[in-house]
Amino acid sequence: MSDTKTRIDELVKSNDVVLYMKGTKSMPQCGFSSRVAGVLNYMGVEFTDVNVLADEDIRQGIKDYSDWPTIPQLYVKGEFVGGCDIITEMTLSGELDQLFDEKGVTYDKQAAEKIREANA
């Protein structure tokens, strides 16, 4: 296992929620990363952010790790969930809430409802 893959694996498995993104949760540097970080922040989810722009090895390595070509990438309890479109769909359908409930991730249920109401 390469050093990069090991670093990614350890981070994904040692944190409940990890978002590989362009920029940081407080300063996203792409619209897709901003949307996913915004959803997680709004829902009050504690998550670890990894700025792929700060490390080229991680930027390519995360794509290889998940076999998913785009960033952002969300991991919950060591499991790859998806990118921006998937997270958006899951948020609007309530599937993200279900996933957080199943995995024991704390989030603000009322905030999740507000997102759905605003997008109905």
Helical H runs in 1-108? 3-14, 31-42, 56-66, 84-93, 95-103
pLDDT of residue 1: 55
| Of 85, 84, 79, residue with least CA distance to 65 | 79
pLDDT of residue 4: 94
Percent of the chain whose pLDDT exceeds 90: 98
* Alpha-carbon span 9 to 43, nearest angstrom: 25
Instruction: Answer yes or no: is 84 a known binding residue.
Output: no
> Is 0.85 surpassed by the pTM of this model?
yes
Residue-wise pLDDT for 5-54, tens only, equals 999 999 999 999 999 999 999 999 999 999 999 999 999 999 999 999 99
Domains in the chain with CATH codes:
3-118 (3.40.30.10)
Question: Which strands sit side by side in the sheet containing 79-82, from one edge to the other?
Answer: 48-51, 17-21, 73-76, 79-82
pLDDT beyond 90 at 94: yes
